[in-house]
Amino acid sequence: MNRYALTGHPLGHTMSPLIHERLFALSGITDFSYELVDIAPEKLPESLDIIKGYNGMNVTIPHKQTVIPFMNELADSAKRYNSVNCIQNDGGKLVGYNTDCDGFLMSAELLPISQKVGILGCGGVGRMIAIETALHGGNITLAVIPQDVKNAQILMAEILEKCDNASVRIADIATLDEGFDLLINATPVGMYPKTDACAVADSVIEKSSSFFDVIYNPTETLFMKKARSHGKTAVGGASMLVYQAVKAHEIWYGGKFRTEDIDVIIKAVEDSVNAMNK
């Protein structure tokens, strides 16, 4: 039997089993198990044999960096972010990947990331999105709260180091008042249960064209509702969550999937989140 798992601590409620079991089913694979392996941080150094017991693993916090010394090889994506969220066990050789960036790019495939892009926030996921956007030629505005200006400056320097011709600036999110081809919420503002909050002023939403929100709970944030009320395209975080898993299956065994089938899984995740919140 092929064994796969998610490891992290604490794992709590996760959509991973639902997503991965459906992806295996789409691939016609029935001889598999997908397990949740909770490893406390202090136990990780002695857990190499546990990890090697699986054909592949997903990795979540707090192990995305600390698992790196176990890897025999790192893919470019993992090197770029010094973060591993997917492990392939290739006959005992552990290869670390970061599929979060693939999840973003695949779910934002029809969005204008190569144009004028406003990114709200500069934390972990915001950093990844900003760098990927720069690599794809986007003209970036990092919109942050005053407390995060120093972190935004560090990120801007990293972007300019990785992308020689990058266009990036920093703005105060509270005074932001301009439009973007793509506006991305990479903050936790609007996340369940505080769903009545939006990270940016209505005027920015009214002036912008396309929207992406990393939050998947709720499935439609206030940020997205406001965008859609103007008839504009808004993609939610459930898409990125599913597509990073899709990339893992491509890595593990060369899985190939149709967009319409992935859309069904995204809808299943959204339905599950909505049911959970009732």
Q: Six-digit token pair at 247?
A: 């990339």
**Superfamily covering domain 102-235:** NAD(P)-binding Rossmann-like Domain (3.40.50.720)
Sheet holding 139-144, edge to edge: 167-172, 139-144, 116-120, 182-185, 210-213, 233-235
For 2-98+239-277, CATH number? 3.40.50.10860
Residue 119 φ then ψ, to 5°: -115, 120
61 three-state secondary structure: coil
The one-digit pLDDT tens for each residue of the chain (278 residues) are: 899 999 999 998 899 999 999 999 999 999 999 999 999 999 999 999 999 999 999 999 999 999 999 999 999 999 999 999 999 999 999 999 999 999 999 999 999 999 999 999 999 899 999 999 999 999 999 999 999 999 999 999 999 999 988 999 999 999 999 999 999 999 999 999 999 999 999 999 999 999 999 999 999 999 999 999 999 999 999 999 999 999 999 999 999 999 999 999 999 999 999 999 98
Between CA 121 and CA 206 the distance in angstroms is 19
Q: Which one is catalytic: 52, 64, 150, 247?
A: 64
Q: What is the pLDDT of residue 164?
A: 86
Q: What is the pLDDT of residue 91?
A: 95
Sign of CA dihedral 156, 82, 114, 219: negative
Q: What is the pLDDT of residue 12?
A: 86
Strand partners, 197: none
Which residue ranges make up each domain of the chain? 2-98+239-277, 102-235
User: 2-98+239-277 and 102-235 share one CATH topology?
Assistant: yes
Between CA 57 and CA 64 the distance in angstroms is 12
Per the annotation, the verdict on 232 as an active-site residue is no
Residue 39 φ then ψ, to 5°: -120, 120
Q: What is the pLDDT of residue 278?
A: 83
Q: What is the pLDDT of residue 263?
A: 97
| pTM for this model (two decimals) | 0.95
